[in-house]
Amino acid sequence: MSDYPNITDAPFWSNLDFDSEIDDEMLLIEIYCSVIASTKNRFTRDTIVGMADYIDDEWEGAEDYKNQLLEPGPNFVHPSIVQRNKVFEDFDSLSVKYGEEHFTNFIQTFYDTYPKAEYSTPIEYLDSLNANNVFHIKWASIYDMLFFIQEYLKK
Amino acid sequence: MTKDECRAIFKTAWYKAIQKDIYPRHIMGSYIGRAYFMSEICMLLFPENNIADQLNFDAYEKTSGTQSRSTQNDFKSLGILTAPFEEQELSSLTKGNVVFLIIENPTLLKKLAGKITSYLYMGENCLFNANMGCIINWSEWKENTEWIPRLLFYAQISCNNSISLDGKQFRPNGDADKLIWEEFWSKV
Supply the DSSP string of chain A, one letter for each residue. Answer: --B-SSGGGSHHHHHTTGGG--SHHHHHHHHHHHHHHHTTT---TT-----GGGB-TT-TTHHHHHHHHHS--TT---HHHHHHHHHHHHHHHHHHHH-HHHHHHHHHHHHHHS--TTSSSHHHHHHHHTTT----HHHHHHHHHHHHHHHHHH-
**Residue ranges making up the domain that contains A74:** 7-154
CA–CA distance, A8 with A19 (Å, rounded to integer): 8
Residues of chain B found within 8 Å of residue A43, distances taken between Cβ atoms: 141, 144, 146-147
**Residue B49 Cα, gap to closest chain A Cα (Å):** 28
- Determine contact, residues B112/A54, Cβ cutoff 8 Å: yes
Can you give the pLDDT at residue A45?
Answer: 38
pLDDT category at A103 given cuts 50, 70, 90 is: very high
pLDDT category at A46 given cuts 50, 70, 90 is: very low
Region of residue A61 (phi > 0: left; psi between -120 and 50: alpha; otherwise: beta): alpha
Query: How far is residue B170 from each of residues B39, B71, B75, B164, B188, measured CA to CA in Å?
Result: 11, 17, 12, 6, 23
Helix (H, G, I), strand (E, B) or coil at B72: helix
Asked if B123 lies within 8 A of A11 by C-beta distance, the reply is yes
Tally of domains within chain A: 1
CA–CA distance, B130 with B142 (Å, rounded to integer): 17
Whether A139 is in a domain gets the answer: yes
Interchain contact B133–A (C-beta under 8 A)? yes
pLDDT category at B159 given cuts 50, 70, 90 is: confident
pLDDT category at B45 given cuts 50, 70, 90 is: very high
- Determine contact, residues B117/B130, Cβ cutoff 8 Å: yes
| Distant-in-sequence, close-in-space partners of B78: CB < 8 Å, separation ≥ 6 | B161, B163, B170
Interchain contact A23–B (C-beta under 8 A)? no
State mean pLDDT over B91-109: 83
Asked if A45 lies within 8 A of B31 by C-beta distance, the reply is no
pLDDT category at A50 given cuts 50, 70, 90 is: low
Residue of B136, B166, B162 whose CA lies nearest to B151:
B136
User: Which residue in A16, A129, A136 is closest to B188 by CB distance?
Assistant: A16
User: Which residue in A16, A36, A65 is closest to B134 by CB distance?
Assistant: A36
Whether A1 is in a domain gets the answer: no
pLDDT category at A75 given cuts 50, 70, 90 is: confident
Whether A71 is in a domain gets the answer: yes
**Residue A70 Cα, gap to closest chain B Cα (Å):** 17
Residues of chain A found within 8 Å of residue B96, distances taken between Cβ atoms: none
CA–CA distance, A143 with B175 (Å, rounded to integer): 45
Asked if B134 lies within 8 A of A139 by C-beta distance, the reply is no
Per-residue pLDDT for A41 more than 70? no
Can you give the pLDDT at residue B67?
Answer: 56
State mean pLDDT over A12-29: 97
User: Which residue in A33, A61, A135 is closest to B134 by CB distance?
Assistant: A33
- Determine contact, residues A27/A56, Cβ cutoff 8 Å: no
- Determine contact, residues B150/B101, Cβ cutoff 8 Å: yes
Can you give the pLDDT at residue A1?
Answer: 60
CA–CA distance, B22 with B61 (Å, rounded to integer): 13
The more confident residue out of B165 and B79 is B165
pLDDT category at A43 given cuts 50, 70, 90 is: very low
User: Which residue in B14, B29, B122 is closest to A29 by CB distance?
Assistant: B14
Whether A60 is in a domain gets the answer: yes
Whether A96 is in a domain gets the answer: yes
Per-residue pLDDT for B40 more than 90? yes
pLDDT category at A47 given cuts 50, 70, 90 is: very low
Q: Strands B164-165, B149-157: parallel, antiparallel or unpaired by DSSP?
A: unpaired
If you ran DSSP here, which 8-state letter would residue B50 be given? B
pLDDT in tens, A53-65: 667 777 787 788 7
Whether A2 is in a domain gets the answer: no
Can you give the pLDDT at residue A42?
Answer: 42
Region of residue B93 (phi > 0: left; psi between -120 and 50: alpha; otherwise: beta): beta
